[in-house]
Amino acid sequence: MSEANCLVANDWICGEYLRSRSQELTDATLQHIGITFASVAIGLAVALPLALLARSRRGFAGPVLGVTTVLYSVPSLAMFSLLLPLFGLSASLVITGLVLYSLTILVRNILAGLESVPDEAREAARGMGYGPLRQLWEVELPLALPALLAGVRIATVSTVALTTVGAIVGYGGLGTLIVDGLDSTFKAQVLSASVLCVLLAIVADLLLLGLQRLLTPWTRVSGGPSSRAAGRRRRASAGRAVESI
C-alpha cells in the first residue's frame, strides 16, 4: 500500500511507478538506443569519406571542417525545423539531425587519427607493394583506431543526450517521457527517465571504451614510461602491424 501511495503523493522515487510502467520505460529505452545507434553508425559512414577527402585534397579540408562545425553550432530546434519539410514528423527527422551533429566530432577525430599514423608504417607498406586502398584498409585505419574510437565515444554520448530533443516530434525515446512528465509534473516519471538516460550514456561509453582497449592493445602502456619510450613502442607496433599482414 505504501508503494502505491507514492504515486498518489507524486514522490520523486516510486517503486510502484517502475513496476506499473516497466513496459513503457522499456519501449522508450529501446527507441532511444535505436535512434542513437542509427545516428552514430550513419554519421561514421558519412564522416569517413569526408575525412579521407579532407586528407587527400588539402583544398577541401577547410570547407569540410568549416561546414561540419557550422552544422554543430545550429540549435537543435532550428535544425529539426529546417529538416521538417523534407522528413515530416518521423524518426528519420531526428536521426538526420543527429547525424549532422555527429559529423564535426567524427570527421575531426578520423582525420587526426589518419594524420597520426607514423610515416614509417606508410613507407613499409609501400615498400611491400601495397596500393593506396590496401594501405588505407590494412595499415592506416587500424593504426588510426585509437583516435577514431575516441571520436565515436564522444559522438555516442553526445547523441544519447541530443536524442531527448526528439521529444518535440514524438521520437525522443526517454526524452519523450521526460517532457511528458514535466508537462504533467509527474515527478517519478521525470526522475526515472532522466536516470535511465544518464545510465545509458555511461554504459555506452564503457562498452565503447572496452571495445577500444580490445582493438588497440598497443595503446595500453604500463609503468608510466617517458613519452620518448612510448613513441618508440608506437613506431615498433606500427612496423609489426605491417609485417604481420
What is the structure's pLDDT at 242? Answer: 37
pLDDT tens-digit profile, the chain (245 residues): 455 688 777 788 888 888 888 899 999 999 999 999 999 999 999 999 999 888 887 777 888 888 988 988 888 888 988 999 998 888 999 999 999 999 999 999 999 888 888 878 888 888 887 777 888 887 888 888 888 999 999 999 999 999 999 998 888 889 999 999 888 888 889 999 999 999 999 999 999 999 988 888 877 664 444 445 444 544 444 444 334 33
What is the structure's pLDDT at 204? Answer: 95
What is the structure's pLDDT at 58? Answer: 76
What is the structure's pLDDT at 196? Answer: 94
What is the structure's pLDDT at 244? Answer: 38
The burial of 16, by beta-carbon neighbours within 10 Å (0-12 exposed, 13-18 middle, 19 or more buried), is given as: middle
What is the structure's pLDDT at 2? Answer: 53
Q: Cα–Cα distance between 70 and 57 in angstroms, integer?
A: 21
Q: Cα–Cα distance between 6 and 240 in angstroms, integer?
A: 62
Decide: 211 and 148 in contact? Cβ < 8 Å.
no
What is the structure's pLDDT at 56? Answer: 81
Q: In the chain, which residue ranges form alpha helices assigned H by DSSP?
A: 2-9, 15-20, 22-56, 58-73, 76-87, 91-115, 119-127, 132-135, 141-163, 174-183, 187-215, 227-243
What is the structure's pLDDT at 128? Answer: 83
What is the structure's pLDDT at 230? Answer: 43
